[in-house]
Structure 1
Amino acid sequence: MTSIDQSGTFTLGDRPVKRLGYGAMQLAGPGVFGPPRDHDAALAVLREAVASGVDHIDTSDFYGPHVTNQLIREALHPYADDLVIVTKIGARRDDKGAWLPAFAPEELAKAVHDNLRNLGLDALDVVNLRIMFDTHGPAEGSIEAPLTVLAELQQKGLVRRVGLSNVTAAQIAEGRKITEIVCVQNQYNLAHRSDDALIDALARDGIAYVPFFPLGGFSPLQSSTLSDVATRLGATPMQVALAWLLHRAPNILLIPGTSSVGHLRENLAVADLKLSDDVIRELDSVAKLDHAR
């Protein structure tokens, strides 16, 4: 059996964080737009996460917009010294909630200042540049211009560390020539595994990989294999999917999101879930079956 330890860590640059974090996206309203259905419940989730030992929260000022950052500040400010807040720039929302690119230098600078103000910080711990050449997935193209703007904001002391999101291996290589890249945030889960080789390459270089939609996102993972394994282990399918990610590579940091304290506790409980090598091989077959369809 391979044991999963929630206290196990990986680094974001020079900051060690526990591998089980929290993603704040679901605290906003439907479609990640507007205020939460229950303001007090949203605050309770954030406070419970930190009280449970979470030291890595993922957010963005375009969630809401502004909603999740303002909730984080209300719930947790002044922040614990060990809390790392990771945010994203590179996108904006229109008045109907659509996701639009925001790569112009003035847009990127405004996004950094908006994050600083809404989070109540003098400098942002980690800022991911979200590449928006294609909103549905990575697409090739140079990221030099927007990343150079972010690197200049880093040099001014407004940003401590830089990451990339929705990117290709070529874009990561390009980005590392401009500034240190401490993390990559792409879509990845038990069934969506196009980044397998990339994850291993980043692990060799000590760069964190943070899968978004680790449970399938807006179309939750559905697999009879996953359900069967979960039943045998006395866990939920989503707990098993998270546990598989922790086993997949040591540089994977998880940020499952929820607006429910009960669901948050379920997510954090994967620290105690053990997967045998046989179970891992069984779960690995889910992606193969998915690609075969």
Structure 2
Amino acid sequence: MSGPVDPARIRDAIAQFGRTLGPDVLASCRALFGAQQEALSCAVPAAARDLAYGPHERHRLDLYGAAGEAPKPVLLFVHGGAFVGGDKGDPSDPARWHNGAVGRMAARRGWIGAVMNYRLAPDHPWPAGAQDVGAAVDFLRAHAADHGGDPDRIVIMGTSAGAAHVGGFLRLRPDHADLVRGAILLSGLYGITPLEPKDEEYYGAADSACDKSPLEALASTPLPMMMACAQYDPARFQAEYLGLLQKRLTRHGALPCSMSLPGHNHYTIAMHLGTSDRRLEDSIAEFCDRLFA
């Protein structure tokens, strides 16, 4: 997509995709935002790439945002990929710009953006992804200050499988409220709906996976939480969103910050961040600014 941005054209194209998932839809969605993300990639390059937060080759994260006179808040992003794929993004590869968008958005907001990789299923089943989120948080707690970040002001954010891994981190680490200020969940799987066969590559057989769910931790944690889903998310992800909202309401007597984003699908809910469509970005910024104050 080239030339001036046409929001109506983008909305119409996403509506035509409907709730369908797959590599062709993913590639088409990338093309819709490619020109804007390329421009942002040039304007906000990574400040540090492939920092090792652990021993595995996928224990790597990129940082966006320059050090300032005072330490900056940190937004850590965990990409999606159905537990078996995905990448933190590579500015040299147009097919992989989109996951770095969250880091660039954070930098443009005056924060430090951290975008991580994690080990993938089936070679690394549960709880590898959740453990890796914890390891990345530990790394940022120890080293964010070296790159201009404030280790006491970290918010974690995940989309799709990444949101499930954020939930897993909350479950595995009882000290999570001492480590991060809040959590942002986009179109994730939280334990509301039954596992599907593809999920078993990470969680194992459905009849043995119930004790691996992050649902109880997500429902009970006092950690401030923001949740969002997309208008064209598959019904399962919308049910997960509504189910966790209800669980949070029951436990806490109030809904968390939440947003059902019109005109987007399962891929574009995170992919578009940093572009001219700032509805979700502005909501994320409002949520984080309250926590970072």
Q: Under TM normalisation by the shorter chain, which class is it?
A: 0.3 to 0.5
Q: Looking at secondary structure, tell me which structure has more helix per residue.
A: 2
- TM-score computed with the length of structure 2 as normaliser: 0.36
- TM-score computed with the length of structure 1 as normaliser: 0.36
